[in-house]
Amino acid sequence: MKLQQLMSLRDLYKQPEPSQAEKNFSADLAENLHTLEVGNFEDAETESNVGTRRADIVAVGKDGTLVVENQFGKADWNHWGRLDAYARLKKADVAVLVAEDFEELMIAACYLRNEESEIRWYLIQVQANSHKELSFHHVVQPIIDIQTEKKAEGGYSEFWAPIRNGEFGELFAGRPVPISNDGWIGETINRIRIWLCLLNQRCYIQLDFRGENHSERRNKIMTLFPESEYDYEYKDTTLIVSAMFPVIDKGRKDQDAWPEMREKLVAMGTDIYTKINESDL
């Protein structure tokens, strides 16, 4: 068995200008905020103006406003201070510092901050492996985070419940979906992640391809879905390339259409899964 080796973000995002490498990481993170598991946020903006400065990421969504600062290597107090200022000026509900390592004093300070602040503070460690895949780990999180709080207030997502209960077949059945993460459910096949995605005004299927040669792999897989039969568009970041299949221009707010949306999401997701499963690709 070949063990995965860790690599630094700076080696992963090689650029002549170090600042551009960190901007590229911010862009990737903004496209995949759900990987942080800090709440439900949709409209992410990178290099967002805050006075005369710019925050790495500012996003809004069901759980309010999110501010993210990220840093290659070990987090320093300069970035901690920036996050503090940006979060307060943006009146953030959630503040996140992402880095590859944290010193003990900063960890202790973040715990204390969560005891006295109305903002939810996170320190999140990011690691990259030799397959160019990222993983995120909560080093510090609020004593009661958004997911726990939402469970106490309202339980699990009503939209996904019939699907997870198996009423639409077994493929996408599973554990209940917390309200804080009710924007998607997924299934993996042949190292491809198939997401059923729900936004406020639309829903769609997204295929994520990660790792080495991900663009070439996507090109091969997408031959299973001729443009004469399927409508889709590509979305690319440095680490992940995706294909998005629109399902219906109705979303979370259109509760009267939920039965139709569930049926169409599962039908298309199952069709895509089956074609990939039956292929030799």
pLDDT digits (tens, 9 = 90+) for 178-204: 766 678 888 888 888 899 998 888 899
Residues 32 and 102 reside in one and the same domain: yes
Q: Is the pTM of this model over 0.75?
A: no
Residues 133 and 46 reside in one and the same domain: yes
Q: Give the span between the Cα atoms of 101 and 126, in whole angstroms.
A: 8
Band of the pLDDT at 213, cuts 50, 70, 90?
confident
Instruction: Give yes or no for a contact between 248 and 203, defined as CB atoms under 8 angstroms apart.
Output: yes
Q: Is 188 exposed, middle or buried (0-12, 13-18, 19+ CB in 10 A)?
A: exposed
Residues 129 and 180 reside in one and the same domain: no
In-domain check, residue 220: yes
pLDDT at 248 over 70: yes
CA–CA distance from 17 to each of 23, 75, 103 (Å)? 10, 19, 26
What is the model's pLDDT at position 211?
A: 67
Residues 11 and 129 reside in one and the same domain: yes
In-domain check, residue 141: yes
Domain edge (last residue) among 147, 165, 198? 147
Residues 98 and 192 reside in one and the same domain: no
pLDDT at 112 over 80: yes
CA 117 vs. chain centroid, Å, equals 25
In-domain check, residue 35: yes
Q: Give the span between the Cα atoms of 26 and 17, in whole angstroms.
A: 15
Which residues have CB under 8 Å from 256's CB, separation 6+?
Answer: none
Residues 92 and 70 reside in one and the same domain: yes
Band of the pLDDT at 115, cuts 50, 70, 90?
confident
Which residues have CB under 8 Å from 178's CB, separation 6+?
Answer: 147, 150, 151, 156, 157
Residue of 55 and 215 predicted with greater confidence: 55
Mean per-residue pLDDT over the chain, rounded: 87
In-domain check, residue 1: no
Please report, for the domain that includes residue 126, its CATH number. 3.40.1350.10
What is the model's pLDDT at position 240?
A: 72
Band of the pLDDT at 239, cuts 50, 70, 90?
low
Of 25, 36, 31, residue with least CA distance to 208: 31
What is the model's pLDDT at position 79?
A: 96
Residues 138 and 179 reside in one and the same domain: no
Q: What is the number of other CB atoms lying within 10 angstroms of the CB of residue 32? A: 16
pLDDT at 150 over 60: no
Residues 166 and 135 reside in one and the same domain: no
In-domain check, residue 235: yes
Please give the average per-residue pLDDT across 12-39, as a whole number.
Answer: 86
Residues 14 and 135 reside in one and the same domain: yes
In-domain check, residue 100: yes
Domain edge (last residue) among 80, 112, 147? 147
Domain count, the chain: 2
Domain edge (last residue) among 97, 116, 147? 147
In-domain check, residue 234: yes
Please report, for the domain that includes residue 178, its CATH number. 3.30.1460
Q: What is the 3-state secondary structure (H, E, C) of the chain?
A: CCCCCEECHHHHCCCCCHHHHHHHHHHHHHHCHHHHCCCCCCEEEEEEEECCEEEEEEEEECCEEEEEEECCCECCHHHHHHHHHHHHHCCCCEEEEEECECCHHHHHHHHHHHHHCCCEEEEEEEEEECCCCEEEEEEECCCCCHHHHHHHHHCECCCCHHHHCCECECCCCCCCCEHHHCCEEEEEECCEEEEEEECCCCEEEEEEEECCCHHHHHHHHHHHCCCCCCCCEEEECCCEEEEEEEEECCCCCCHHHHHHHHHHHHHHHHHHHHHHHHCCC
Residues 44 and 168 reside in one and the same domain: no
Please give the average per-residue pLDDT across 115-124, as a whole number.
Answer: 90
Residue of 280 and 160 predicted with greater confidence: 160
Q: Give the span between the Cα atoms of 216 and 270, in whole angstroms.
A: 23
What is the model's pLDDT at position 130?
A: 75
Residues 137 and 220 reside in one and the same domain: no
Token pair 């995949």: residue: 32
In-domain check, residue 230: yes
Percent above pLDDT 70 for the chain: 90
CA 155 vs. chain centroid, Å, equals 21
What is the model's pLDDT at position 153?
A: 46
Residues 131 and 166 reside in one and the same domain: no
Domain residues for the domain of 44 are: 6-147
